Structure 1
Amino acid sequence: MLDSIKTTVLAAATLAVATPVLADEVNIYSYRQPELIKPLTDAFTAETGIRVNVAYLAKGMVERLQAEGKRSPADVVLTVDISRLSGVVEAGLTQPVDSATLKANVPAQYQDPEGHWYGLTTRARIVYASKDRVADGEITTYEDLADPKWKGRICTRSGTHAYNIALTSAVIEHHGEEGAKAWLEGIKSNLARKPQGNDRAQVKAIWAGECDVAIGNTYYMGKMLADEEQKEWAESVNVVFPTFEGNGTHVNISGVAMTKSAPNKENALKLMEFLTSPAAQEIYAKANFEYPIAPGTKPDPLVESWGEFTADNTNLMTLAGHRATALKITEEVDFDG
């Protein structure tokens, strides 16, 4: 409740004056945390002189934009996960952006073919494996997780969480609906406990001996290593980059889109192009232990130390198209039950 109140107050304070629109500002609605956004907005303002106003939202971005309609002060939205990005697009709340700079900075698989959104950073959905109880090379593919040898040894958060729905969508893309359903059933039969908690909670469970293998995002390793209490959890596991048979490792994104109503369209474009620039992407990636995607950029040395991987080359909008099916089959197998 307190977090919700803080979010509401902050949003009201930052965007209280929607009119008149000033030529030297740009307004953001963001699902990303203040500590991740401020270094970027400060750098953008220093470079361009354009003031950035940010409303930090915990949830309800689509509903808020719909309620505001043409009167919305928001110029751009920042969010994580292809499901959330595509949700804003599917609601008709964005506009296509045709920019040579954006197209040059963002690889094709990380941008909407119609130009409605562009990726900023990526994170891999990987396996955390116990250093003591899982040998090197025991897991090489996502398909391996359904092998009965892992019975009673896997932990994960809810199968209906957006991160896992995106992964299941990727399984559908590579193996079809029936293949993905069989994969989910296999993993469910291998669970050590009912799906619960967040990605960090799974690593804690490995450290505590409750399971040996967990599914999670790469950046949580960096966050745990930076936390005095959680560092011991992180040091109990190895980061494993599984692949799909015949393809690469599943990745998801943080991304940006221009709103349909954008009152400061020119400044919004400048901000989007800045956010995809190599310098900005490295700031962004370092702040959250993610992977920058602009050509010639490198991740933080800590992230780089986890090893290299080849990303699945499927366009993420294709995966977004499987979202409803992924949720349906996850519920059919009663994954969280």
Structure 2
Amino acid sequence: MPHVSSRRLRRTLATLALTAASVAATVPALAQQQVLNLYSARHYQTDERLYADFTKATGIRINRVDADDAGILARLKAEGSASPADVILLVDAARLWRAEQDGLFQPVRSAVLEQRIPAQFRGADTGQGSQWFGFSTRARVLVYDPTRVKPTDIDSYEKLAAPAMKGLICSRSGSHPYNLSLFASVIEHLGADQAEAWLKGVVANLARDPKGGDTDQIRAVAAGECGVAITNTYYYARLMRSTNPADKAVVDRTRVMFPNQSSWGTHVNISGGAVARHAKNRDAAVKFLEYLASDSAQRYLADGNNEYPTVPGVQTENPALAAFGRFKAETVPIAKVGANTAQVQMMLDRVGFK
């Protein structure tokens, strides 16, 4: 056995100790580099803060793929079991329901989510947990020109089909998910025959062919192109909070109506999330959904993108939401809204709602 000096032995042992310490320090560092693959239909720059805060709190980095609801669902089907997606975020109740029916999600049993997210904003519990959870809501309201339209003319969705509304309505495409969900809920309230007659009346009252997004409809009202527009609350809230003089002028020229306050309530849609069926990082995915139900994330959804929190009791500092005030929201089950959308699309084709 070769002779090793005591000095050399001490140096070797010291080197081994440093190496062991380095490896020990690297293990948590590698854990912090865990990646969560997120497919998101939320195209809101304000959400960047949400993702950054989650990474800061957990060390889990988010790799995001953006597309619209339909694009995400098509991609999940095409990728199958090879999909890298861990979490799916969609911005329409009917699409959440559709994805659940198509087997694109997996059930989640979480005490945190079940305690904080009301049952009306969760997928049905099949015994293994819910397959999706709603984290924010937005109301489908009417923005109108008070010099051309009286509040009593539009205090219900039904009145949009009245002869008095001839040539006054602006809307984005009837086939857009936000409108599909609204129209699907109308079927639940009026029945299929009356709902189709109503849609025919709305089409007859359009001021122009549907084009653009919700903000475009609001601006068209302010510009005098139409008298009333169908829009989600958060689009109008953005204009209310804007410092742009042109946006302030739009708000000054228009008003907001929450329809059906004396009957079934204003239609609300949700933005929600789910764990992908073939998620490779399930634990991190559940942790992210639970984070979205936290007070801080709920407040940011409200203050950052002008949405209503789904967790009861969360206090926000959003002046636009405060200005809207409290309102009666409809309580149509999400499953029924989703199930009606295919029927709505056929109605739209028949009545010519582009």
Query: TM-score, normalised on structure 2?
Result: 0.84
| CA distance, structure 2, for counterparts of residue 298 and residue 185 of structure 1 | 41
TM alignment of 1:197-212, pairs within 5 A: 197-212=212-227
**Cα distance in structure 1, aligned partners of 2:255 and 2:314:** 25
Contact 1:143 1:244 (8 Å CA) reproduced? no
Separation of aligned partners in 1, 2:290 and 2:98:
22
Structure 1 contact 157–196 (Cα < 8 Å) conserved: yes
Query: Helix, strand or coil for the counterpart of 1:145?
Result: helix
Corresponding residue for residue 100 of structure 2: 89
Are 2:271 and 1:260 aligned? no
Q: Please say if residues 32 and 60 of structure 2, whose CA atoms lie closer than 8 Å, have aligned partners that are also in contact.
A: no
CA shift, 1:64, in A, is 2.0
CA deviation vs aligned residue, 1:142-189 (integer Å, no higher than 9, x gap): 112122111121111111111111111000011111010011112122
- Matched residue, 1:40: 50
Q: 1:288 aligns with which of 299, 305, 311?
A: 305
* Count of aligned pairs between the two proteins: 317
Q: Which of 52, 57, 60 is matched with 1:50 structurally?
A: 60
Greater Cα shift, 228-237 or 93-102: 228-237
Amino acid at match of 1:50: I
Which piece of structure 1 moves more, 213-222 or 189-198? 189-198
CA RMSD of aligned residues (A): 2.1
Gaps of 5+ in 2: 1-29
State the match for 2:345 in structure 1: 327
Matches within 5 A, 1:23-34: 24-33=34-43
1:235, 1:297 → 2: CA distance? 29
- Paired residue secondary structure (1:322): helix
Per-residue CA deviations over 1:56-88 (Å, capped at 9, x if unaligned) read 235621232223222222110112011332232
- Summarize deviations over 1:264-304 as a string: whole Å, max 9, x none: 11111111111012221111221111111101114422222
Please tell me whether the aligned partners of residues 104 and 277 of structure 2 are also in contact (alpha carbons under 8 angstroms). yes
Corresponding residue for residue 191 of structure 1: 206
Structure 1 letter corresponding to 2:83: S
1:266 and 1:23, CA in 2 relative to 1: closer, same or farther beyond 3 A? farther
- Paired residue type of 1:325: Q
Equivalent in 156, 162, 173 of residue 141 of structure 1: 156
- Confirm whether residue 110 of structure 1 aligns to residue 128 of structure 2: no
Structure 2 counterpart of 1:84, one-letter code: R
Cα deviation for residue 22 of structure 1 reads 8.4
**Residues 330 and 214 of structure 1, relative CA distance in 2, 3 Å threshold:** same
Identify the match of residue 101 of structure 1 among 112, 124, 128: 112
1:198 and 1:34 map into 2 onto residues whose CA distance is 14
Large movers: runs of 4+ above 4 Å = 20-23
Normalising by structure 1, report the TM-score.
0.88
Match of residue 217 from structure 1: 232
Give yes or no for the alignment of 1:129 onto 2:147.
no
- 1:51, CA displacement in angstroms? 2.3
1:157 and 2:172 correspond: yes
The one-letter amino acid paired with 1:88 is A
Assess if the C-alpha contact under 8 Å between 2:33 and 2:61 holds in 1.
no
Please say if residues 78 and 257 of structure 1, whose CA atoms lie closer than 8 Å, have aligned partners that are also in contact. yes
Change in Cα spacing, 1:307 to 1:283, as seen in structure 2 (3 Å) is same
Gap runs ≥5 in structure 1: 1-19
- Distance between the aligned counterparts of 1:57 and 1:22, measured in 2? 27
Q: 1:73 to 1:35 in 2, by over 3 A?
A: same
Q: Quote the residue 2:267 is aligned against.
A: 250
Match of 1:6 in 2: none
% identical equivalent positions: 41
Who is 2:336 aligned against? Answer: 318
Residue 238 of structure 1 aligns with an amino acid whose one-letter code is R
CA deviation map 1:69-123 (0-9, x unaligned): 2222211011201133223223321111122221222122211114111101000
The secondary structure found in structure 1 opposite 2:312 is: coil
Structure showing greater Rg: 2
Q: Is the 8 A contact 2:97 2:334 kept in 1?
A: no
Equivalent residue letter for 1:133: R
Judging by fraction of residues, say which structure has more helix.
2
Q: What residue in structure 2 maps to residue 270 of structure 1?
A: 287
Shift in Å at residue 134 of structure 1? 2.3
CA distance in structure 2 between the aligned counterparts of 1:230 and 1:148, rounded to whole angstroms: 31
Q: Distance in 2 between matches of 1:253 and 1:44?
A: 21
Deviates more, 1:165-174 or 1:32-41: 32-41
Does the aligned pair in 1 maintain the 2:142–2:228 contact within 8 Å? yes
- State the SS of the aligned residue for 1:230: helix
